[in-house]
Structure 1
Amino acid sequence: MNMRFELADAKTVGITGHVRPDGDCVGSVMGLYNYIKKNMPNIEVDVYLEQPGKEFYYIKNLDKIKPIADETKEYDVFIVLDCSDIERIKPFAQCFLNAKKTICIDHHASNSNNAFANNNLVMPNSSSSCEVLYGTLEEDEIDKDIAECIYTGIIHDTGVFKYSCTSDITMAIAGKLMAKGIDYSDIIDNSFYKKTYIQNQILGRALLESILFYDKKCIYSAIYKKDMEFYGVDGKQLGGIIEQLRLTEGVEVAIFLYETGMNEFKVSMRSKKYINVSSIAVHFGGGGHVRAAGITMQGTVHDIINNIGAQLELQFSAIDK
């Protein structure tokens, strides 16, 4: 896919990503927005997204994000990034449905057979949607501002190049982005690692109350709404907890849950080497990657862990044979 070709006849373009946008979502959405603004100035382009976290303050044109959809508008092209299901763009889905042409750029394995847009570029072996997006752009048209966005997405979805999704292609692209003059160390420190004092407190609580199970091969922790209200945080401030759980010695699978409603939890799962957490997430209606996946589930924490545990048991049993 070549972005210039896809937008050759477009006068209006809309862009969005999934709800609760993470670094790859923010990076890919804003990277494409800045690319079009710089290189195709005759195109009227709107970007729709839930407000990203403050850690992405350095990204150019972040203030141009529209949190509410203009459902009366009919875009020539509407582009969805880092999203495997139209349900995950629900606040802006009408803009997608109104559009004359739709495009999806993604890297989630659960999207491989979905194909909800007119044109779908889904590359499950890529580290991130930002990596996929990079391949659609003209390299000499990527400036420092665009490079910062794409680099952001890559470091977030690779865990700063340490996850198994990182490839030699990922590293080559990262090198080319660094050559654009970005302050890569600041991007890593300030958007990925930096935590507020309150975030450190709630991280400490989550670790203190974590529980090992399945012969200490698995670990989980949960944060309830009352705890989030006490600390004055929402889901956006809970990043990093699942990663710290995953680093526990001897653990293959980490699970982190936070309450989003009455007996409703957002569940994140990570694995190290053997367990396919994406297949577990898909089983319960979610999605993601082999080593990183998520789902919203109903029930008590006990119920949810038991249900996920049954699926883990199937995979562990197959490995042990």
Structure 2
Amino acid sequence: MSGSAARAAVYGNQLEEAARFLKENDDFLVVSHIQPDGDAASSTVAIGLLLEQLQKNFLLINEGSVPRKLSFLPKYSEIVNLSENPAKGKFKHIISVDCADYSRIGSVASMFTEDAIVLNIDHHPTNDEFGAVNLIRTDAAATVEILYDLFQEMKLNWNVSLATAIYTGLLTDTGGFRYSNTTSHVMNIAAEMLRLGVNGHELANELLEKSSLAHILLLKKALSTLAFTEDKQIAWVMVTAADMKDSNATNEDFEGIVNYPRNIEGVEVGLLFKETGKDTYKVGFRSAGKADVAVIAKSFGGGGHVRAAGATVQGPLEQVIQEVVNCVRSALE
């Protein structure tokens, strides 16, 4: 059996095992990673729609809030913000979507029973298979692409709500079908979702074109800090807590800022240093392709994809910048 055939067989077995887990159990807790993006939120609501079809009991939850611009998603209003609405009770059957590792679940893990069984559905290459049941395809463009395969495996009934969730996850994690993860399979799924009634142009306008005033003000501050290495292969910007306050910005207003340094001609890796606490910085990594930033981020305790990753690094800002830039420079060399 060839390597590709063996991987397909393993994936097929994982789909069957995940479907069995969903059919044989009940009372599920569905969680995505902290600070959810379009794919994480879309995967959460898509699982909710799946469980609804199976007539299962479930709770959709996240450690924090879900971006307002995703409020059009079906079941968006049902996703509990644990930081504002402490939920009661413990759950044995957990469905984790788009979490590269267990820590990305955040404080929601406090709601797991000691004997909790986790179904881990994800597409990150750095996923450490923390679930009792793992459904992982690292060459998938988004977790919703895996969910599409799962829904086909389970022969679910498709409707425009489910199609909207799948399309949204694909749209956001492929950068509007521009990134290298946009495969023929992705485009075939997208076309199928459009046939089901998804308004693709409206979603693109809402998710890719519109910007909040806070985002623009934050971008203005970030670009004023733009810096480069001597060879101009690495570029970075910084955003402080004071910048956030002055711009009246929230976490969702950071979307896309890290792409600006990466998109400069000649730059191989773009970085965003975001202050999240005293001597604590969340670092966003974006690669033009020469460096695997998932590996770099993992060396700092983070993770992600070859071209897009993140990590939290502690220390004085100048020290953090130096450590991260040196690590990226070594990867490029």
TM range (shorter): over 0.9
Q: Is the 8 A contact 2:118 2:132 kept in 1?
A: yes
Give the C-alpha shift of residue 214 in structure 1.
Answer: 4.1
Q: Which deviations, in whole Å up to 9, do the C-alpha atoms of 1:5-38 show, x marking residues without a partner?
A: 322222311100110111111111111112222x
CA contact (8 A) 1:199 1:237 kept: yes
CA 1:185 to 1:98, structure 2 compared with 1: closer, same or farther past 3 Å? farther
Q: Give the aligned residue type for 2:255.
A: G
Q: Which residue of 2 aligns with 1:12?
A: 27
Contact 2:90 2:112 (8 Å CA) reproduced: no
The equivalent of 1:73 in structure 2 is 90
**Aligned ranges 1:175-190 → 2 under 5 Å:** 175-190=191-206
CA distance in 1, matches of 2:299, 2:148: 31
- C-alpha distance in 1, partners of 2:228/2:326? 15
**1:137 matched to 2:154:** no
Residue 255 of structure 1: aligned partner: 271
Q: CA deviation at 1:82?
A: 0.3
Aligned equivalents of 2:21, 2:69: Cα separation in 1: 32
Select 2:182's aligned residue among 166, 184, 202.
166
C-alpha distance 15-140 of structure 1, shift in aligned 2 (>3 A): closer
* Residues 80-130 of structure 1: per-residue CA shift (max 9 Å, x gap): 00002111112111334446532000011111xx22110011111111111
Is the 2:28–2:91 contact (alpha carbons within 8 Å) kept by the matching residues of 1?
no
1:26 counterpart letter in structure 2: A
Following TM superposition, by how much is the alpha carbon of 1:209 offset from its aligned partner in structure 2, in angstroms?
2.1
User: In structure 2, the residue corresponding to 1:136 is in which secondary structure?
Assistant: helix
Matched residue pairs, number? 312
Distance 2:115 2:81 in 1: 18
CA distance in 2, matches of 1:306, 1:74: 43
Give 1:290's aligned amino acid: V
Q: 1:198 to 1:125 in 2, by over 3 A?
A: same
Structure 2: how far apart are the matches of 1:198 and 1:170?
32
Aligned to 1:63: 77
Assess, with a 3 A threshold, how the Cα gap between structure 1 residues 25 and 168 changes in structure 2: closer, same or farther.
Answer: same
2:214 & 2:249 partners in 1: Cα distance? 8
Q: CA 1:147 to 1:215, structure 2 compared with 1: closer, same or farther past 3 Å? A: same
Measure, in 1, the Cα distance between the counterparts of 2:289 and 2:43.
Answer: 27
Q: Secondary structure at the match of 1:216?
A: coil
Partner of 1:121: 135
TM-score under structure 2 length normalisation: 0.89
String of CA shifts for 1:69-88, please: whole Å, max 9, x gaps.
6453234x210000021111
2:12 corresponds to which residue? none
Give the SS at the match of 1:273: coil
Q: Tell me which of 37, 40, 44 is aligned to 1:29.
A: 44
Within 5 A, what are the aligned runs for 1:42-53? 43-49=56-62, 50-53=64-67
Taking the TM superposition and a 5 Å limit, the aligned residue runs for 1:167-246 are 167-246=183-262
Contact 1:78 1:95 in 2 (8 A): no
1:295 is paired with a residue of what secondary structure?
A: strand
- Give the whole-Å Cα distance in 2 for the aligned partners of 1:264 and 1:51: 21
Q: What RMSD, in angstroms, separates the aligned Cα atoms of the two structures?
A: 1.7
Q: How does 1:139-158 map to 2 (within 5 A)?
A: 141-158=157-174
Which shifted more, 207-216 or 262-271?
207-216
Alpha-carbon shift at residue 196 of structure 1 (Å): 1.3
**Amino-acid identity (%):** 27
Of the structure 1 ranges 66-75 and 253-262, higher mean CA displacement relative to structure 2 is found in 66-75
Q: Which moved more, 1:19-28 or 1:307-316?
A: 307-316
> In the alignment, is the contact (CA less than 8 A) between 1:71 and 1:94 conserved in 2?
no
TM-score by length of 1: 0.92
CA distance in 2 between counterparts of 1:123 and 1:285 reads 22
Q: Which runs of 4+ in 1 moved over 4 A?
A: 97-100
Q: 1:102 corresponds to which residue? A: 118
In the alignment, is the contact (CA less than 8 A) between 2:289 and 2:306 conserved in 1? no
